[in-house]
Chain A
Amino acid sequence: MRVLLDDVTKAYADRSGRAVEALAGVSITAEDEELLAIVGPSGCGKSTLLNMVAGLLAPSAGSIAFEGELPAARPPTAMVFQEFALFPWRTVQTNVELGLEERGLPAAERRVVARRFIELTGLGGFEGKYPHQLSGGMRQRVGIARALAVDPAVLLMDEPFSALDAQTRQLMQEELLATWERTRKTILYVTHNIHEAVWMADRVVVLSRRPGRVLEIVPIELKRPRTEAMLGEPAFVRAVERIWALIKSQAQAALREGVA
């Protein structure tokens, strides 16, 4: 499934009623089975972009469309949230079943499907636990299992690992890549972590500060499957340096203005 963003603009009315532009004329195409990372300084509208693809926000102008075959029962997108957004009153099992319920699957089938993705994300044995009984990394695995269980054509990830500690984050990145190799979905991956973006993605979209525009789309010339050893390769270092150079001046300007 391809995702086509054509000249997308998003403007909000702030508290005093003034129009604030979050995104201006963003055109991106995510290819089928591509892992496309989106990076940019704080407040560049990258989360806004993802929410629009998820249908949680409407663009002010421009169009967002999917291209490809999509069976009626499958949703085009599913989202993995930064703060996990798990239901505290649901167990791991029933949290993963949420999207399947909304799709109207019978209970027996839901159980089987959910169980499969619980195993896939390494949560086997924790089906009956509540989110508060799990570590941060485990919680986000539930979030990923929940999204994968509905078999979306496109997986949307909004800084999925930024709430995790550095070691857990590294392990989760590897796990996600392994899962992606097996499921081969189109992934839109929003992050503010340049190393993470370069190490995981096929291409990295660099957005400017508010209003967010596409500064450059940087292709990553690293082979798959990605390994830790690649973190030292010249192609990796070059891409990181290129992206940091693009973002640095933007971030500095944002810092001076005190915009969060």
Chain B
Amino acid sequence: MKRVTLAILVATALLSIVVARTLSLDDDPIRSLTDPDPAVAALFERFQERSPFRGRIFVETGALPSRDREALEARLAGAGYVEEPLFRAPPPQEVLALAPLLPADDLRALLGDDAVRRRADEAASVAGLPGGDGYLAALEADPAMLGPALLARLSGPRGGGGGAAPRVFRSPSPMDYERAGEVYDALVALGPAVHFIGGDFFAVENYRAVKRDMVLCSTLSLVLSLAVFFLFNGRWALVGLLLLGTAVSYLTGLLAIRAFYAQVFAVVLAYTSTFVGFNNESLVHLSGIEERDARRSLLGVWSAIGTTVIGFLVLLLGRSVMVRQMALASLGGTAGFLLFLVPYRRVLRAVRFRPVDWPKLTVSPGAVAAACGACAVGVAVLGVPRLDTRIEDFRFQTPALDAQVAHFSRALDALALENVVAVPVAGAPGAALADLAARGLVDASRHPLSLWRPPAAQEESLRVLREEWPGATARLVARLAGAGIRIAPPPRPPDDLRPIGEWELLDRLGALSPIRWADRAGGHRYLFVGLRPGVAPPAGAALLAMSPRHHYDALLTGLSRELGWLFLAGFAAMALYLGLLQRSLARVLYVFAPLFPSALAFAAYARVTGAPLSIVHVMGFSLVIALALDYTAVAVSTDHRPLELSKVLLTGLTTLATFGVLVLARHPVMRELGVTVAIGCGISLAFALFVRLPAADEGGA
């Protein structure tokens, strides 16, 4: 046996090397979500490709003293953040193509004597600075300074009424959590004088929360489980088996994920801290089986293991990668642990548990059915809880981050970019925008289409440009020559300038700015618009959410509903499986009975708090079925024998310890999962220990 244990230890060490080398960590389970409609998914992906928020952080440093600002710049540079412009200066020919959008009067002013004189004076002054030739090169390419005028027009009424412009820094790739964390801490320490936002900061907070949760929950869960286990059994050999087997199952669980995914979500890694609870159930129920009751005991064991496996198998059918990874890890871990136990069959057979007995309430199957029915009526009266998952349910957020989100949300609201939607348009985009504005959904004056001018007005601007440009440019060149500066701008505007259409304007602006305003997908043409703050799209409107928060909220809610249906399908599959195995409707009803008061408890919770149930709760219900039904399955299969009840008590307490400690987790996914499973398992454990069917119905007579 020692040789076997040594071989397993060596294999475990090798497996951990394989896992460490082949799996990498992903901190954000949200990014993996994609819309089931390929056209919508492509639209969203292309919109996000151009997103100024992807791979960048934004920092407002305007209110910082120069020393603090320079120190912060040095820290950002040290951590690999590279500053870049939010708006890239467009090439001169692109600027000129948009020139017909400037009203004729604006062009007359830009090309007038006063403007030319002022421009020449400024150029002479700035050219005197070190590096001033860059300014002269820009002036040579755009002598009328149409670029800044267009930029001012673009950001004018849509600019949100001032406020400090955020500075944009490209994030280093791959992300270094430690260095990004140092930057984050420095920004937080600067207080309200600085504002910042970016995916990196959420990633840092989540990384820290998950790291802390993994260490704390794994340690507490292991210590508590081993303590309970040792108290009940008193044998170090079994404690050692649980410990080593859990290490094996942890690795086989991760290998099961690796078979399908190269990256594992950090939150899934934290979830694997609960494996000791699953393993404990398998170990205990497979130990100390007495020969004379082996058939009934094994019926309980296979009922328990079967429902667990079915519970996880149905989760694999869902589209959420995070949920699939949790299911894969659980199935791989369960299989690994059961295989690990095979060489220790004799050790398990020799184990003896001390029987425990206490009075139980014997109820008829009819009474159980009535109680379940009453709970179902209770749920119907209270109302089936609403399923609604939001992106915040997956992220650990701190007050510091919440304050930054609120600050930048206000800024985005002001820019009408907080909630951008894609609208399919068959005709002219201007008419579609006017229709949306008439319905109160958008403020048309904040949309770039408000820059568009009718062809006749554009022709007038072009006429002014063609007439005034040569003279203005000649005057500028002459004035600069007087200051000893020589530039050679084009003497005339390009001949191919022409009025531009609405779609062309949107396409051109999309190419220049960090935001796409029009796109094509699935044979449709889409216009992107920012909804007014606080406006919800009317039901049935064909508006596709493009802003990450709204897009992912919709996807997550859809996934929650899908998982809810899968949960019910799994429930039906388990009922069928147990029906075939137990061959008794009363016993199957008994096994499922604790789920009804659990459902009532959650309905009451949702009614009292007004909070919806999220995908995490549905995942928790699946775990409740996988874990908690084991207690009733074993108890009813073994006629509530004191020896088996002792095992149920032991496994129930360790499960409560394992999931109970998750209440201490910082990450909301782990915490909600812990609360859900602890409530479900607590109810089920109490029911299995203190309520029983008549002996004839349990098959013991």
A binds B: no
